[in-house]
Copies of this chain bind each other. A is one copy, B any other.
Amino acid sequence: MHDEVAVKAWRELSRQYAALSCALESALQEQHKLGMSEFEVLDRLVGAQDCTGLRMQELGEQIHLSQSALSRTVARLEKDGLVERQLCTSDRRGVFVHPTDAGRERHAAARPTHRAVINTTLASSQ
C-alpha cells in the first residue's frame, strides 16, 4: 500500500472509531447508566454459548481491553449486581464471569439503543 493511502486509511479508521465509541458512550450512559465497555462485557457474556460464562482472559481478547481496564469494568458491573465472578474449581485456568438476572435484564433494555446507535452512526459516517 502506498504510504499516503495507508495513512488515509488509518485516519479514517480512527475517525470512525472515535465517532462511534463516543456516540455509544453517551447514549448508553444517558439512557441506561452503562459505560460502553460495561455494555460490551454484558453483550459478550449474554451472547456466550457456554452458560458458565466466559473467562476473564477470553473477555479481554474479545473486547480489546487491557487486563487492568477489564478488571475495573468487571468490578463495576459486579458492584452493581450485574455480573458475578466465580473461581472455576475444575479448571485452574481462571476466573469465570457470568451475567446475573439483573445483568441480563439491563442488557436486554440497552441492546436496542446499542444497535440503533451503531446503525445510525455507521450509516452517517460512511
Contact = CB atoms under 8 A, between A and B. Distances in A.
Contacts of A6: 115, 118-119, 122
Q: How many copies does the complex hold?
A: 2
A1 B122 contact: yes
A35 to B, nearest CB: 15
Given A10-B20, A13-B13, A17-B17, A1 B64 contact: no
Interface in A89-126: 114-115, 118-119, 122-123
Which secondary structure dominates chain A's binding surface? helix
A21 B3 CA distance: 17
20 contacts: A1-B119, A1-B123, A3-B115, A3-B119, A6-B115, A6-B118, A6-B119, A6-B122, A7-B114, A7-B115, A9-B122, A10-B118, A13-B13, A13-B16, A13-B17, A13-B20, A14-B17, A14-B21, A14-B63, A18-B64
